[in-house]
Amino acid sequence: MTVISQLQAGNRPTPVAALEARHLVKEFRGFRATNDVSLQINEGEIHAIIGPNGAGKTTLFNLLSGFLRPTSGEVHLFGERVDQLRPYEIVRRGLSRSFQISSVFPTMTVRDNVLVALQSPTPLPHQFWSPLSRLDALGEQAEQILEAVGLGAAHERLAADLSHGEKRQLEIGISLTQQPRVLLLDEPTSGMGSEGIARVIALVREVARGRTVVLVEHNMSVVAELADRITVLQYGAVLASGRYDDVRQDPRVIEAYLGEEGH
């Protein structure tokens, strides 16, 4: 390494870890679904977690968001250890997630779905019993969120009548009600056609402004479009982690996963 390159490397600002896994292990009756996973997700980045079916992506998401307690290891959110906290306590600290299985109430309107989420006791418990003026303010907030996720024109529709893609947009809107600094998205484009996928890519870019996004995603062109860095899981362990263009050339990754997809 030359002096100049050393200086350049030295001058690079140290990235701030938004979310960090340290030697995470999760065992289900002796089976290791998560096997010594350490990874750092930097503030402001879009980070994709990929891997073949059964590689442990959902389990890792559940560990990062407090829906599962690790067998061993730690999770840190902005430097604070959170792996022993309950999911709502983690939400209060700035992490929110969407689910592969829909969290939308089908018999309510799109707007009411967002309103209910805005009134949930997290992150501000005193909002639960709100005076009417407070509800007006929440109504405005709901409209802004719907606008942001591209559902501004759909607010009076029943959630059940939304297309699959629109439901995913609404789910992202619901996650945004908690004003997360870190947003976890579980397969945001699953089951979508190319038009829906293009819309979700644009939406994720939009919501990623000023926040950190971690997504589990099977569609490699979506990953290539969106991710600053990726982590590849295999058999519960990290196979590779880094910039997409570097990781996709890793022969182990090509063999384990990307090769299957013809990339």
CB of 63 to ligand ATP, least distance (A): 10
Instruction: Please report how close the Cβ of residue 105 comes to ligand ATP at its closest, in angstroms.
Output: 24
Residue with tokens 């976890």: 184
Is 215 an interacting residue with respect to ligand ATP (CB under 6 A)? no
Distance CA(55)–CA(238), nearest Å, equals 10
> How many residues contact ligand ATP, by CB under 6 A?
11
33 in contact with ligand ATP (CB under 6 A): yes
E strand or H helix that includes residue 8: helix 3-11
In angstroms, rounded to a whole number, what is the distance separating the alpha carbons of residues 201 and 171? Answer: 15
C-beta closer to ligand ATP: residue 20 or 187 = 187
Choice between 118 and 197, CB closer to ligand ATP:
197
Q: Which amino acid, one-letter code, is at 117?
A: A
Q: How far is the CB of 55 from ligand ATP (least distance, A)?
A: 4
Q: By CB under 6 A, which span of 27-35, 174-182, 220-228, 252-260 interacts with ligand ATP?
A: 27-35
Q: Does 191 bind ligand ATP (CB under 6 A)?
A: no
Which residue lies nearer to ligand ATP by CB, 38 or 100? Answer: 100
Three-class DSSP labels, 50-102: ECCCCCCHHHHHHHHCCCCCCCEEEEEECCEECCCCCHHHHHHCCEEECCCCC
Q: Are 213 and 183 in contact (CB under 8 A)?
A: yes
Q: Which is nearer to ligand ATP, 154 or 213 (CB)?
A: 213
Peptide bond into 52 cis (omega under 30): no
In whole angstroms, what is the distance from residue 39 CA to residue 103 CA? 28
Rule CB under 6 A: choose which of 7, 8, 28, 195 binds ligand ATP. 28
The pair phi, psi for residue 55, each rounded to 5°, is: -75, -15
Closest distance to ligand ATP from the beta carbon of 258 (Å): 15
Residues 42-61 that bind ligand ATP (CB under 6 A): 51, 53-59
**Minimum separation from the CB atom of position 83 to ligand ATP (A):** 17
